Amino acid sequence: MATSRDVIADIAATKRIAVAASHPPTHHTVQLKGTTTSVRLASDSEADLIRTRFDAFADILHAIGIPRRIGRSITLWPAFAVDMKVEEIFEQTPGPNAGALLR
């Protein structure tokens, strides 16, 4: 929450959001753009899911040479949950198709 203040303020002001998702070993990356439909504090029942996903992320980083302690040092809780309506998806993998709209 402490590091999300500016993002949450921007969402409140514009309702717009862009999310990049990347698989570090392959560099396959997409960007989702859309409109937020809700922003709330994540519930206690979501904490295990968040921790499990970040542990998996730490494992992926470890596979490419970044120590697990780095990935596991990210502050996860408390957290915001942001729901969005995805309106566009773009290829962001480095290469000739980067920036192309995916259909």
pLDDT, tens digit, 9 for 90 and up, residues 58-101: 999 999 999 988 878 888 889 999 999 999 999 999 999 999 99
Q: Which residue has the tokens 């029942």?
A: 45
| Residue 94 preceded by cis peptide, ω within 30 | no
Return the half-sphere exposure (C-beta side, CA atoms, 13 A cut-off) of residue 17.
20
**CA–CA distance, 29 with 91 (Å, rounded to integer):** 6
Strands of the sheet containing 101-102, edge to edge, are 16-23, 28-41, 80-91, 101-102
Give the global pTM. Answer: 0.81
Q: Which residue has the tokens 């922003």?
A: 39
pLDDT, tens digit, 9 for 90 and up, residues 33-54: 999 999 999 999 999 999 999 8
Q: Is 4's pLDDT higher than 90?
A: no
- The pLDDT score that the predictor gives to residue 72 is 80
Judge contact between 16 and 35, C-beta under 8 A.
yes
Banded pLDDT at 11 (limits 50, 70, 90): very high
